[in-house]
């Protein structure tokens, strides 16, 4: 290509820069969409569902399968992310805590199922007869080293994936086009 041909090419139009004030305004608008109470509710439902799946798979197979912990972490995190639409650390902490609770509850429900089977009782009967003060001891007696790994995976996923993901185009859509490129 000759210099003249290069000179005739149109340069792509440069996009105006988004300054810090405009970015702060866009982030503030995103924060107004956050819904922490809804994230708590949806995350709790997801943790309870995950606990049920954890217990069901463990009782049916007779094995704790580590991928279920990953699933509990993902399920809780995405529930918190999509309902809470959060940008702050509190959403990550919520996702991590609920993922952990989902796994612990899954182990507890598994123990209750095994007790019901061995004693010839109904599952609900076992749940209603267990003394709440005995739950920590029951959980410690059935705790294994693999539980630490499974819980850690779920907590990591719950923490890492609970934040809202904002695309550049979504962010740009929140900024007043007339304010881009000019000082405020």
CA gap 52, 49 in Å, rounded: 5
3 state SS of 170: helix
State the pTM of this model.
0.79
Sign of torsion, CA 60 148 77 109?
positive
pLDDT at residue 184 in the model: 42
Q: Where are the domains of the chain?
A: 18-172
CA gap 107, 54 in Å, rounded: 7
Report the chain (184 residues): mean pLDDT per 10 consecutive residues. 51 59 80 93 98 94 87 96 94 98 94 93 93 92 89 94 84 64 46
pLDDT at residue 183 in the model: 45
pLDDT at residue 27 in the model: 80
């Amino acid at each position: 290509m000759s210099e003249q041909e290069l000179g005739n090419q149109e340069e792509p139009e440069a996009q105006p820069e988004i300054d810090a004030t405009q970015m702060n305004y866009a982030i503030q608008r995103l924060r107004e969409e956050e819904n922490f109470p809804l994230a708590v509710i949806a995350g709790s439902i997801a943790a309870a569902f995950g606990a049920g799946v954890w217990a069901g798979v463990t009782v049916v197979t007779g094995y704790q399968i580590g991928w279920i912990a990953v699933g509990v972490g993902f399920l809780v995190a995405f529930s918190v992310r999509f309902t809470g639409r959060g940008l702050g650390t509190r959403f990550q902490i919520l996702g991590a805590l609920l993922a952990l609770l989902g796994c612990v509850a899954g182990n507890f429900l598994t123990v209750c199922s095994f007790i019901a089977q061995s004693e010839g009782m109904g599952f609900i009967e076992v749940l209603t007869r267990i003394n709440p003060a005995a739950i920590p001891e029951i959980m410690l007696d059935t705790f294994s080293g693999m539980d630490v790994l499974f819980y850690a995976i779920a907590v990591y996923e719950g923490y890492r994936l609970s934040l809202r993901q904002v695309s550049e185009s979504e962010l740009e859509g929140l900024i007043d086009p007339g304010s881009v490129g000019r000082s405020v």
